[in-house]
Structure 1
Amino acid sequence: MSYHIDKDGYYGIFGGAYIPEMLYPNVEELKQNYFQIMEDPSFQEEFHQLLRDYVGRPSPLYFAKRLSEHYGTKIYLKREDLNHTGAHKINNTIGQILVAKRLGKKRIIAETGAGQHGVATATVCALMGIECVVYMGEIDIARQAPNVARMKMLGATVIPATSGSKTLKDATNEAIRDWINNPVDTHYIIGSVVGPHPYPDMVARFQSIISEETKKQLLEKEGRENPNYVMACVGGGSNAAGAYYHYLEDVDVKLIAVEAAGHGIDSGESAATSVLGHEGIIHGSKTLLMQTPDGQITEPYSISAGLDYPGVGPLHAHLHQSGRAEFISITDEEAMKAGMELCQLEGIIPAIESAHALAALNKKTFKPNDIVVLCLSGRGDKDLETYINYFNL
């Protein structure tokens, strides 16, 4: 079985491009050109130069000694939190802005939940001198105020999404509407491995730098490229896709995807798509989706603004259905405790998204010599207010 995309844009039965006719030219233009552009040596040179000199890659693979002792195994943290802008999102926005430039686009739009993708998009637009519009749910604007300020400082226009749950799904809807109205000069930088083909594949390829580096770094530190486990949080799933990418076909490497259970899987306030989801279509692709029996999207919930998405990317839907990845659901409470544990054991304040992945360490039994690579997808600066309120700091 293959875990990579097929020629029609599917992972197994998931993926595709389910789009309004108005968007067909945009998506088709991208589909016809993205791979050729990405394979061009001059593109690769510019992309890797910016990753090195601007983003600060390679990000360290850090042996977390005290965390490892606590869990009785060897835990390495892939430090995406140390990237410029504080998360893995910049890997993809650098790649997509270079693609957009080669396609002659003059305006960029994006959606954001936690604000990290919005900040990363605003950052690369400032870098390249291109107009930037970011759609963000009204609720997320309130709970991620520092990131909203950053986007504005970087010259972006932030437009609130005021419909539905006023979070990530609604911001995505607004961005797609904008794209339909501005098809010729605008490129939509989607922030995760979601959306119509070719986005899930394109974003995964840009994020695959994570596992590419991990293999080299692990070889250096442990004398082997492959860990026993790779763990990452999954909302749409771009950091997980990047952390898994070069291990997808190595079935000896166990993949663990960690979702947000919110107040509990059966609480009605959750974002555990792998448990609660059914096949459906959202934002242009067929995937697993939380929905009512008549197909209305169920409002997701998580304390983490980056994980409250009602679906997962089609790659992750395929990894779940095929059994290639194990999905674990983590509650708000478990994630917050795990975030605090990392602070006090390793002196690293993680994003609450990443804290969900850390909490899954409690759900598995590891052997002392197992090597566990956990993608620390972002840093916790943006979540300080949530930490403060939760723990009454």
Structure 2
Amino acid sequence: MTDLRLRPRDLPRPRDLPIVRPAGTMSDPGPRGKFGDHGGRYVPESLVAACQEVEDAFRDAWSDPGFRGSLATLLAVHAGRPTALTPAWRLSAELGITLLLKREDLAHTGSHKINNVLGQALLATRMGRTRLLAETGAGQHGVATATAAALLGLSATVFMGERDVERQALNVFRMRVLGAEVVPVGTGSRTLKDATSEAMRHWVTCVDDAYYCMGSVVGPHPYPWMVREFQRVIGEEARGQCATELRTGVPDYVVACVGGGSNAAGTFAGFADTAAQFVGVEAAGGAGATEGRTGVLHGFRSRFLQDDDGQITEAESIAAGLDYPGVGPEHAYLRDLGRARYVTVTDAEVVDAALRLARTEGILPALESAHAVAWVIRAAESGELPPGATVLLTLSGRGDKDTATLMELV
């Protein structure tokens, strides 16, 4: 009888990530977790030991071939990696460039979030934790967390702002079907910032049995670094696909939307040692990298939207996943270095871009991802992108979750 059991050596694996990288851009930030003047660990005393335990566990796991092999197997057989690199032929012809789409919308659960969550869920089980805590805005991280919890036999509690619960009802339903508890947060703006605050407050009460599964490259050290490393698979895959499948070589531009910035960080990391120009695209109403000032929130130092008194102000975006008043500390550092530049697009441009991609390529992107598409369209049509440029764009998620919003506008 044929043996149908799956063994790691039998499966396609994402490109192995080097365990040790030389010092430099997008490398290990060290025990202090500092990216230049940004990052660090600014948490209550009750969470200092918990964060250190996560860091120690991650360093141990990331140097263990067995852990990395287990993650690679899950990414292949559960998440569907590698994801495709799709040439956008018709839109490229209209814009006079070569546009390549890294299709994270094709990953299981519909976005890049599953890459990070599978890694952190495996780490949680390695640490002996039985429960995952998470925050979510657009709901994609919440769905991914609920999915990983169900897969690995963990319980999951997801905090979500009441406003986002209303506009992302489909994802709330998906989380609950998967067995997660969804906790609506009614304080402040009732969006991602407040959901994150509430999740971290809850973590203080249950650090012994719960693992906090951060959804982006934000939060206290080691989360910005750890999440970037789990998302690095996007950039590593895309670079290999450019070289071997499409034979385009290193793209001239690498573009991704930025809220906290995990899909962008993961994509940029794969090209950090190349001459590719990095562009992070933010929402005009929530542009931490572009318009923020240095401050501290949710356990880390970075650039945040603030008033003249230093109080955090609310972000506004048609995309719930970008409704965050700051940016991950490594993005703030890349901005300081001039290694990446950050731009904004309006809600109207985002809707137009989502529809244009749908009608030219048969791909309906998440509104978050449509921010990156909107900038590429604007830059190509204005001449900011030189004719014939090759642009790699990470399509971080699919647009099913945003159909209710689009139905009201189209």
Please indicate the TM-score interval, normalised by the length of the shorter structure. over 0.9
Structure 2 equivalent of residue 219 of structure 1:
243
**Corresponding residue for residue 306 of structure 1:** 321
Deviation at 1:222, TM superposition (A): 4.2
Given that 2:114 and 2:144 are in contact with CA atoms closer than 8 Å, whether structure 1 keeps it comes out as yes
Match of 1:253 among 276, 284, 298: 276
Question: Among 130, 135, 146, which residue is 1:111 paired with?
Answer: 135
Cα distance in 2 for partners of 1:287, 1:366 equals 29
- 1:246 deviates by 1.8
TM-score after normalising by structure 1: 0.95
TM superposition shift of 1:224: 5.2
Question: 2:67 aligned with 1:43, yes or no?
Answer: yes
In the other structure, the counterpart of 1:387 is 406
In structure 1, the residue matched to 2:351 is: 336
Q: Secondary structure at the match of 1:247?
A: coil
- Which blocks of at least 5 consecutive residues in structure 1 are unaligned? 262-269
Q: For 2:222, which of 188, 192, 198 is the aligned residue?
A: 198
- 1:239 corresponds, among 260, 263, 269, to 263
Matched, 1:324 2:339: yes
- Scaled by the length of structure 2, what TM-score is found? 0.91
Can you list the C-alpha shifts for 1:223-250, whole angstroms capped at 9, x where unaligned? 3541111000000000001110121232
Q: For 2:369, what is the secondary structure of its paired residue?
A: helix
Q: Map residues 108-257 of structure 1 onto 2, 5 A cutoff.
A: 108-223=132-247, 225-250=249-274, 252-257=275-280
The secondary structure found in structure 2 opposite 1:306 is: helix
TM-fit CA distance, 1:368: 3.9
Secondary structure in structure 2 of the residue aligned to 1:126 = helix
Contact 2:379 2:385 in 1 (8 A): no
Kept in 2: contact 1:72–1:366 (CA 8 A):
no
Question: Corresponding residue for 1:87?
Answer: 111
CA deviation profile, 1:267-293 (whole Å, cap 9, x unmatched): xxx101223210000111000000112
Structure 2 residue aligned with 1:265: none
Letter in 2 for 1:363: A
Q: What SS class does the counterpart of residue 56 from structure 1 fall into? A: coil
User: CA deviation digits over 1:26-67, x for unaligned, max 9?
Assistant: 101011221220221111111011111111110000011001
Amino acid at match of 2:398: R
Write the distance in 1 (CA, Å) between the matches of 2:249 and 2:216: 26
Aligned to 1:66: 90
Please tell me whether residue 377 in structure 1 is matched to residue 396 in structure 2. yes
CA distance in 2, matches of 1:108, 1:367: 46
Structure 2: unaligned runs, 5 residues or longer: 1-23
Native 8 Å contact 1:3 1:249 kept in 2: no
Whichever residue aligns with residue 45 of structure 1, its letter is G
Percent identity, please.
Answer: 49
Matched residue SS, 1:389: helix
Amino acid at match of 2:256: A
What secondary structure, in the 3-state scheme, does the structure 2 residue paired with 1:4 have?
A: coil
CA distance in 1, matches of 2:86, 2:287: 29
The answer as to 2:313 corresponding to 1:286 is no
Tell me if structure 2 keeps the 8 A contact 1:287–1:312: yes
Is the Cα contact below 8 Å between 2:149 and 2:155 reproduced in 1? Answer: yes
RMSD: 1.1
SS at match of 1:194: coil
SS at match of 2:158: strand
Instruction: Describe the SS at the equivalent of 1:62.
Output: strand
Cα distance in structure 2, aligned partners of 1:347 and 1:122: 29
Matched residue, 2:375: 360
